[in-house]
Amino acid sequence: MSSSHARTAIVTGASKGLGAGIAAALAGTGAAVVVNYREDAEGAERVVAGITANGGRAIAVRADVAHGDDVRRLFERAREEYGPVDVLVNNAAVAAFAPLSGITEEEFQREMTTNLLGTILTTQALAAQDDIGAASIINVSTAGTLTHPPYASLYVASKSAVNAFTVVAAKELGPRGIRVNAIMPGPSDTEGTRAMGFPGSAQEAQAIADTPLGRTGTPDDYGPLVAFLASDDARWITGDVILASGGLR
Ligand SMILES: NC(=O)c1ccc[n+]([C@@H]2O[C@H](COP(=O)([O-])OP(=O)(O)OC[C@H]3O[C@@H](n4cnc5c(N)ncnc54)[C@H](OP(=O)(O)O)[C@@H]3O)[C@@H](O)[C@H]2O)c1
């Protein structure tokens, strides 16, 4: 966070997983945090309760980032409650792993609209605010855009597009003092990866073997990096895509 003032942050997909850890870390630095979710109201309220129990400020707001109307409502609600939004973490995403032959048009729409269009819509909404000064957008990509694992072509393609979008958006928004960066997490233990059966799988064992720091990530591993990128300490960093994967690449 800026050492000079607390900020207002929206973290998309913060009802669980990495988003929940990132929301808690931002709140811990004094930001008022909007915990966005799509379906899991209970999870989002749990994240809010954890933040407020620690003296932080947070509200939960439902919005599907793949829909412009929802995104506009999300920003309106955030501004009503806390004022202009100057930190945006685009964390919401969906993934399904399948061989090339298993990719359907429906799954293409689902992953591309959530992972890429969602990131574009929220970035537009942040930039549409004409009353913000310096601001920071952090897009959550994946180390998979470097490791290119098989059966992840659609997901990795959507996140590679997010990486490219990050660099271009940084150029367009830089003159207004809006920084745009991305982080590339490594395989991590979250509700999402648990639902895919990742813990205890051969893929997890391989990921750990390939990771110099010798373990998978946790939601707590990413908050400090995102909080740094959101802060004025990172004022000279924009258009970067930063690997945070215990060295897996
Ligand atoms: N976990 C990993 O190993 C890993 C590795 C690399 C990168 N990442 C990236 O890290 C981020 C978080 O992953 P995770 O594993 O923590 O995910 P997760 O446990 O599956 O949680 C996903 C979150 O995104 C929300 N979400 C999904 N679609 C949404 C939509 N259309 N609008 C708003 N919110 C939506 C979900 O909300 P509801 O549950 O309320 O619907 C949930 O809060 C993703 O961008 C993922 O690609 C994860």
What pLDDT was estimated at residue 30?
97
**Is residue 146 assigned to a domain?**
yes
The predicted model gives 37-57 an average pLDDT of 98
- Residues 115-141 pLDDT 10s: 999 999 999 999 999 999 999 999 999
Q: Does any domain span residue 156?
A: yes
Gap from CA of 74 to ligand 1 centroid (Å)? 17
Give the pLDDT mean for 64-76.
98
Annotate 111-163 with DSSP letters as a single string.
HIIIIIIHHHHHHHHHHT-TT--SEEEEEE--THHHH--TT-HHHHHHHHHHH
State which ligand 1 atom lies nearest to the alpha carbon of 67. Answer: 31
Q: State both tokens at 4.
A: 């000079």
How far is residue 93's CA from residue 192's CA, in Å, rounded to a whole number?
A: 10
Count of structural domains within the chain: 1
Q: Is residue 216 a part of any domain in this protein?
A: yes
In a domain, 1, yes or no: no
Q: Is 216 in the pocket of ligand 1 (CB under 6 A)?
A: no
Domain range for residue 98? 8-244
Residue 114, in any domain of the structure: yes
Residue 3 lies in a domain: no
pLDDT at 5: 56
Is residue 166 in a domain?
A: yes
Q: Domain with 218 in it: what CATH number? A: 3.40.50.720
Residue 100 CA to ligand 1 centre (angstroms): 22
